[in-house]
Structure 1
Amino acid sequence: MTSPARILGAILGGGASSRFGSDKALALHEGRPLIGHVAAALAAQTQALVICGRAWGGYADLADQPAPRLGPIGGICAAMQYGAANGFSHVLIAPCDLLGIPADTAACLLPGPAVAEGQWLLGLWPTGLCQALTAAILSEGAIPVRRWIQLSGAVSVAVGGLRNVNRPGDLPI
């Protein structure tokens, strides 16, 4: 019998928010910052939570790995390294601006590697792939997340109800 997955939740919280015009992670929706909605969704289906690229909410904040300023792939690598070093089997990663993450997302993406169809920053990554991701970054530089999806063999899974917020007008009323 296999042991149940031990999943770390990780929020990609960095970024310039250039299309949004201000710090979108802190933009309010229903009286709570966007990052708070994502934190609640991930915390409900993981054993611990970290934030990549910023300090927020008293959670551990992780700097890009293996080097600074790598964009989303650096946050993914940091979360996977942290997860591997702390006994997690998987990392469920989501961007700070994604609303509507279903309560069964981790279960839908298991065993991973897998990403949400159309929202490739929402993914479940086995921590056993940590060394491969680090090696890819060290070899190729700041690779796009889509390149990592290809290299890792991640599958795309339909996950309904997701809403990415890139501009103030994308916030539901």
Structure 2
Amino acid sequence: MRIVNVILAGGASRRFGEPKASHVYQGKPLYEHVKEQLLKGETVIISHPKLLPFFKARGEQAVWLDDEQVRGYGPLAGIYTAMQKQEAEWYLVTACDMPFIRKETAVALSSYCHEHVDAVIPMVQERLQPLFALYHRRSLPFISACLKENQLAIKDLLQKLHVQVVPADELNVAPNEFHNINKRSDLPENGMI
């Protein structure tokens, strides 16, 4: 089973005030905290145009802007672009602003991938977490359809797919592991929330 990790770093980060992916936290950029916790294998980054030089300077090779036809269409555009540009069976999609995720959770999540499922989504504190989730390549036509119909919310996509929802307790999720960073004040000084 070939899985490609996809880091979504294409947002404007308006509330944060600067691109979140490049913000240095505890000695390294936020995206590196995320990248270190992903599955073995290739990682691709879907970047905001302003961040391309930053990622290239850090030696990242697989860095792409959203496909021009869907640029500015949010996370679905990033997932679409990754699937269009990189062949794989499954894609572990994560936002660049989730620095507390753990490799153990990614591995546990991947164990739920099978042929009758299009997406594997964690359920944490009664909320689906579609931006740390696995999507099968067969979901690409549905993503494309959502983008064409201007249905840009991931929940619209999930209604079209066969989704395996995995409760947090089955994944042994750490407290606040799925906390994402929207504002600078969301980053605790000591690294723990």
Classify the TM-score, shorter chain. Answer: 0.7 to 0.9
CA distance in 2, matches of 1:134, 1:62: 18
Which SS does the other structure have where 2:156 is aligned? helix
Q: 1:52 aligns with which of 26, 46, 49?
A: 46
TM-score normalised by structure 1 residue count: 0.84
* TM-superposed deviation, 1:127: 1.0
How far residue 12 of structure 1 moved from its aligned partner, in angstroms, is: 0.4
> Once the 2 structures are TM-superposed, how far is the Cα of residue 31 of structure 1 from its aligned partner?
0.5
Are 2:137 and 1:127 aligned?
yes
Q: Write the deviation string for residues 77-129 of structure 1: whole angstroms up to 9, x where unpaired.
A: 1122233xx2x110001000002222131432431512232332111001122
Q: Which residue of 1 aligns with 2:186?
A: 170
State the 1:142 CA deviation: 4.8
- Aligned counterpart for 2:78 among listed residues 70, 75, 78: 75
Structural RMSD (CA) = 1.9
Q: Residues 172, 156 of structure 1: CA spacing in aligned structure 2 closer, same or farther, 3 A cutoff?
A: farther
**Counterpart Cα distance in 1 of 2:3 and 2:186:** 30
Letter in 1 for 2:82: A
Distance in 2, matches of 1:79 and 1:7, equals: 12
Matches for 1:16-165 after TM superposition, within 5 Å: 16-42=12-38, 45-54=39-48, 55=52, 56=55, 57=58, 58-65=60-67, 66-83=69-86, 86=87, 88-104=88-104, 105-109=106-110, 110-111=112-113, 112=117, 113-117=119-123, 118=127, 119-138=129-148, 140-157=149-166, 158=168, 159=171, 160=173, 161-165=177-181
State the partner residue of 2:11: 15
Gaps of 5+ in 2: none
Aligned 8 A contact 2:142 2:157 in 1: no
Q: Specify the structure having the higher radius of gyration (Cα).
A: 2
Q: Percent identity?
A: 29
Contact 1:93–1:123 (Cα < 8 Å) also in 2: yes
Distance 1:132 1:142 in 2: 11
Partner SS for 1:120: coil
Measured after TM superposition, the shift of residue 38 of structure 1 is 1.0
Contact persistence 2:5–2:92 (CA under 8 A): yes
User: For 1:59 and 1:166, how far apart are their aligned partners in 2?
Assistant: 27
CA contact (8 A) 2:10 2:65 kept: no
Per the normalisation by structure 2, the TM-score is: 0.76
Query: 2-side partners of 1:122 and 1:25: how far apart?
Result: 16
Tell me the secondary structure at the aligned position of residue 164 of structure 1.
coil
Q: Where does structure 1 differ by over 4 angstroms across 4 or more consecutive aligned residues?
A: none
Aligned residues: 163
Measured in 2, the distance between the counterparts of 1:31 and 1:128 equals 39
